[in-house]
Structure 1
Amino acid sequence: MDARETSKQSRLLNAADEILGPTLARGRGEDIAILFGDAKITFSELNAEVNRFANALQPFLAKGDRALLLLKDSPTFVAAHLGIMRAGAVAVALSTRSTAKDLAFAIADSGAKAMLIDDEFLPLYGQAIALTTHRPELVAVCGTAAADMRSIDDLLVDAASEFQSAPTAAQDMAFWLYTSGTTGTPKAAVHCHGDVVVGDWYMQAFGYGPGERVFSSSKLFFAFPLGHVLIGGLRSGATIILYEGWPDSDAIAAVVERYRPTLMLSVPAFYRGLLRDGLATRSGFKTVRCYLSAGESLPASLYSRWREATGVPIVEGIGATETMFMVIGGTPADHRPGATGKPLPYVEVKHLDLEDRPVTTTDSPGILWVRMESLCRGYWRQPAKTKAAFRDGWFRTGDVFIVDEDGWWYHQGRADDLLKISGQWVSPAEIEECAATVPGVSEAIVVGAEDEDGLVRLTMFLVASDGGNDALQQQVQERLLGALSKYKCPRRIVFIDAVPRTATGKARRFRLRQWTAANFLMRLMRALRLDSTNLQDTQSQLVREMQRRCVACECQDRCADDLDQGLSETSYQSYCPNAEILVSMRISNALN
């Protein structure tokens, strides 16, 4: 690092001041910062509440100490998050969908000195602390506190509304985000105070600023809304709209109708759901100026359907917990349906193949590497994973793209989702987008798993508007064969009610891969001495319904154990969703 870079990193800078300071410095303290329920909170009022949190928490938190937030989206979340950073400590927002095991890991891994928690999560907290020896010194509760805890109201009651921000430097820790990966141990991405100023170009490109209203269906403990709503929205002087409940289509539609946001952030699964439920045609959605999408690829067909329903485009982009802000994306003035976008001005990119060699030809897959000033400083206390993902200031995102001759980048999925079929790399995204163009198909997911011969075979999972039937299956297969090389066309199609998803809205492909590889239903039929081939030929609709139940079953691990150990009727009848059908078939076989 040269002297200029060292000076840049060591300059005094506090993230909370960088987020709220610009609006206050412009003399616009009476502008509305937050809309929440019936409340309208100005920037001046929010700044005072941030100071109260900083004063109240300072006795418990030294510089760099961690404070956990297990809070629903609310003004309390925002003020606490900013107050912790203003005091020089580290804010760690946790998923409100955490399991006891996840929460216990975060408590122990962070060594948190304080925790702020909504009272509805206290039973979860009780389960979590039984799994770890570490205890936060302060547990402050939003709502009714237990005997050995303090309420947040009590904590703030005598706290002053003025506070001198801690003298933090740009490279000092400010906040962490635990990665939301679909598998494996969570990793805490360590972000610093200087990171919050990096996304300004992106916010300006979308017209963030005073008078704009920004809303996200995703919750603030995710990087997407934390970076582009709490940080980007407030830093630009826009009003942010908060909804504390866990979102569903009806709830989000109600928020949009009531508050009329001008910018809305969501994920493809939510846009698809709003169209499916007939809500996207409501007047509120037509007054949104621009929609943003991240989390996974936005199919061109979904873009078209949304624009037809609302008259407004969805602009796609991709970022990561490790980057905080978008790295590849379009803008309202320059985007292309089906493309993720182009590298953004504040990001350096590399496009490398699976052997880390530069990709030199168009439309060839490669992994995106990025370097930018908001890149996290690695994963807390996980040196091996940090070394694997970060190299010489670059971050290996694990996201696979192809780049066309015009410089547009197209997301092909994660590197571990790519499939090698007949000696060639296959992207599930290409197959899924093709299937989604068939009328009646709501969503398609393709996974690969080895068969009994050790060859990778493709399975396509379809969500159909009418549940699915033989005719639709044939239409999909004909569309695929007419548009794609034969080796890219899945021979097996399974209809499901809904794609299993993470809390961030990403498809849980590993879950579907596990189901495919385990071959539960066919093994179960064989264990009961049923002719699965004959049943598929003669009772295809029944087998399709059994597959649908089997994929959604939460007892797959138990089923796998039973099958491995030698299944007995008494063991599976208590939990298998297909038990009644299978027993009837077995009796019928015996009678015949």
Structure 2
Amino acid sequence: MSEHASAPILTGPELEGMEDYRSVMDVFHAAVKRFADNPAFSCMGQTLSFAELDRLSADFAAWLQHETELKPGDRIAIQLPNVLQFPVAVFGAMRAGLVVVNTNPLYTEREMAHQFKDSGARAILILANMADKLEKVLDRTDIEHVLVTELGDLHGFPKRQLINAVVKYVKKMVPAYSLPMAVPFRQALKAGAARKHREVERELDDIAALQYTGGTTGLPKGTMLTHRNLVANMLQARQAIGPGLHEGKEVVIAPLPVYHIYTFTVNCLFLMETGNHSVLITNPRDLDNFVKELKGLRFTGFIGLNTLFNALCNREDFRSLDFSKLHLTISGGMALTKAAAQRWEEITGCPIAEGYGLTETSPIVSFNPIDAIQLGTIGKPVAATSVKVVDVDDKALPFGEPGELCVKGPQVMKGYWNRDEETAKVMSDDGWFHTGDIAVLQDDGYIRIVDRKKDMILVSGFNVYPNEIEDVVAAHPGVLESAAVGIPDENSGEVIKLFVVAKDDSLDAETLRDWCKKELTAYKVPKVVEFRDELPKTNVGKVLRRQLRDEEVQKTQKAEEV
């Protein structure tokens, strides 16, 4: 930690090992060679060893190189839930020199069309369950190559046929679609296995992934994460979490979506680098089956977030599991409450170490030391990372004073894809990234988040930006104006409340919610709708979301007092 009397900067230790690698693929090759026989990823009872991951990803890379004209630097969208195909596709695409565009499988057609067009993706691997949506937006994108996979594709015979048949014919989860050019993923792997892939040299400053995040325009922006960013964050995670982890011996539960930067870095990259075994949970919202999967596992690690910890601890079947091997629980994605952390430790015997990060920082910025967890904080800066807090004039503030948290380090993004103006708003010329989160630096080296980006809503760990919701609502012919804010919720941290000024009295809340469901992912759909005659505004006519949010907080406080 370095500090000045009035302007402290907290800095993590030196970063070790960065000189050993030039790309994510260097890390991958070292891991698959060193841990070849170890289990790498499991899903629904099927396991891929590191050697199998190496072989299958090479097959996919060979198909991309020989059966398409895609070049290094081209973008490929991967729209999958937590299935074994995900790591195979990610590492295969990177081996072919492509840039991975992680895409939420819950996206609506509108959201898909924007992300594919904005990223310039020329290829996509998509789960059959959402291929009907792709069919409807394909002509609005630059996508030329479509690969479709089914849920059980990497399972052995006959389990593969059984899983795929149940999903398609019994549960009817695969709507009919017509994509004549689509290549089945298994067919691509088979064709690739007959060819030899060429290893593509990538440099640390080349883009490895475009990770989309919300923005002030209401449309998500592509965060350019380079090989340097991702390699650095893997190694930073190793140094921060490493003391509580045994190389090649951990079994870590991964219930959060791998397309999300949190799990993408921790499970897909960091745990791969350390030779450990990630158990991918395809549908964690199905808590009955989730807990059943956990029953047969002697898991040693668990990656989660506050709402999931709460939901599991409320279940008797979860409380009766064997936690004797569990020694590492990590929380991120949203604030961890002391009540949730204490209850988890009472039930499992394992404390939760909370970290903090953002999509723009690959994501890990800080982490609670495993042997010195301080609940209510986000820990200390990870290696090679500096943090400071500043006031509205960008002047650094002393310990104990809240200000905007700024971050500097090798994990900070290259910038927003094709958004130089947006990049300039958050990145200073000397490399400081302005997070928009309000924090306090403690003189013991720990950091506390005291508030968040003023308009962002956090629903179960997912960032929701009001502008996007308001843009969708504004398109309804019965709406004059609207404002979306987050209100406290016991289960998801926050839910979205929509304030609406209608053009006439015929518009009702359910009609508006149905309208939103067509255009927005489920967690972005307003849970509460309130109609008003007018909305509070500034003297230049800007809606005061903060005032609306403060009114809701006061209502909640009064209700609790009663």
Q: Tell me which of 256, 259, 266 is aligned to 2:304.
A: 266
Question: Would the aligned equivalents of 1:322 and 1:375 in 2 still touch at CA under 8 Å?
Answer: yes
* Pairing 1:36-435 to 2, within 5 Å after superposition: 36-58=43-65, 59-129=68-138, 132=140, 134-143=141-150, 146-160=179-193, 162-179=196-213, 184-198=218-232, 199-200=234-235, 201-362=239-400, 364-391=401-428, 392-416=430-454
CA distance in 1, matches of 2:450, 2:501: 26
Give the CA deviation at 1:14.
3.4
Give the CA deviation at 1:275.
1.9
CA distance in 1, matches of 2:24, 2:526: 45
Tell me which amino acid in the other structure corresponds to 1:112: A
Question: Would the aligned equivalents of 2:255 and 2:283 in 1 still touch at CA under 8 Å?
Answer: no
CA distance in 1, matches of 2:272, 2:25: 10
Give the CA deviation at 1:282.
2.5
2:32 aligned with 1:24: yes
Give the CA deviation at 1:382.
1.2
Give the CA deviation at 1:555.
8.2
Question: Would the aligned equivalents of 2:135 and 2:178 in 1 still touch at CA under 8 Å?
Answer: no
Give the CA deviation at 1:519.
9.6
CA distance in 2, matches of 1:460, 1:148: 45
Distance 1:397 1:245, change over 3 A: same
Tell me which amino acid in the other structure corresponds to 2:444: D
Distance 1:265 1:183, change over 3 A: farther
Aligned to 2:554: none
Distance 1:370 1:154, change over 3 A: same
Runs of 4+ in 1 over 6 A off after TM superposition: 8-12
Give the secondary structure class of the aligned counterpart of 1:139: strand
Tell me which amino acid in the other structure corresponds to 2:190: V
TM-score, normalization by structure 2: 0.72
* Pairing 1:450-529 to 2, within 5 Å after superposition: 461=488, 463=490, 498-499=491-492, 507-508=494-495, 511-512=496-497, 514-515=498-499
Give the CA deviation at 1:118.
0.7
Question: Would the aligned equivalents of 2:486 and 2:494 in 1 still touch at CA under 8 Å?
Answer: no
Give the secondary structure class of the aligned counterpart of 2:361: coil
Question: Would the aligned equivalents of 1:53 and 1:159 in 2 still touch at CA under 8 Å?
Answer: yes
Question: Would the aligned equivalents of 1:14 and 1:166 in 2 still touch at CA under 8 Å?
Answer: no
Question: Would the aligned equivalents of 2:305 and 2:334 in 1 still touch at CA under 8 Å?
Answer: yes
CA distance in 2, matches of 1:123, 1:460: 34
Distance 1:65 1:208, change over 3 A: farther
Give the CA deviation at 1:206.
3.3
Give the CA deviation at 1:299.
1.6
Structure 2 gaps, min length 5: 1-16, 151-176, 459-465, 467-484, 509-523, 535-562
Give the CA deviation at 1:12.
7.9
Tell me which amino acid in the other structure corresponds to 2:427: F
User: How many matched pairs?
Assistant: 442
CA distance in 2, matches of 1:94, 1:396: 25
Give the CA deviation at 1:106.
1.0
CA distance in 2, matches of 1:317, 1:140: 36
Question: Would the aligned equivalents of 1:21 and 1:235 in 2 still touch at CA under 8 Å?
Answer: no
| Residue-by-residue CA offset, 1:86-139 (whole Å, 9 max, x unaligned) | 111111110011121110001111111111111111122123336x2x241100
Distance 1:552 1:189, change over 3 A: closer
CA distance in 1, matches of 2:189, 2:487: 54
Tell me which amino acid in the other structure corresponds to 2:111: D
The higher relative CO (CA closer than 8 Å, separation ≥ 6) is in 2
CA distance in 2, matches of 1:308, 1:35: 28
TM-score, normalization by structure 1: 0.68
Structure 1 gaps, min length 5: 1-7, 419-427, 430-446, 448-457, 464-497, 500-505, 528-550, 565-592
Question: Would the aligned equivalents of 2:74 and 2:99 in 1 still touch at CA under 8 Å?
Answer: yes
Q: Could you say which structure has the larger radius of gyration?
A: 1
Question: Would the aligned equivalents of 1:208 and 1:233 in 2 still touch at CA under 8 Å?
Answer: no
Give the secondary structure class of the aligned counterpart of 2:69: coil
Q: Tell me which of 35, 57, 61 is aligned to 2:42.
A: 35
Tell me which amino acid in the other structure corresponds to 1:368: L
Tell me which amino acid in the other structure corresponds to 1:273: A
Aligned to 2:551: none
Give the CA deviation at 1:46.
0.7
Tell me which amino acid in the other structure corresponds to 1:507: E
In percent, how many aligned pairs have the same letter? 24
Question: Would the aligned equivalents of 2:241 and 2:370 in 1 still touch at CA under 8 Å?
Answer: no
| Residue-by-residue CA offset, 1:298-353 (whole Å, 9 max, x unaligned) | 12222112111221101101011111142122021121122211112231112112
| Residue-by-residue CA offset, 1:528-553 (whole Å, 9 max, x unaligned) | xxxxxxxxxxxxxxxxxxxxxxx997
Distance 1:375 1:269, change over 3 A: same
Question: Would the aligned equivalents of 2:408 and 2:431 in 1 still touch at CA under 8 Å?
Answer: yes
Give the CA deviation at 1:66.
0.2
Question: Would the aligned equivalents of 1:16 and 1:83 in 2 still touch at CA under 8 Å?
Answer: no
Give the secondary structure class of the aligned counterpart of 2:188: helix
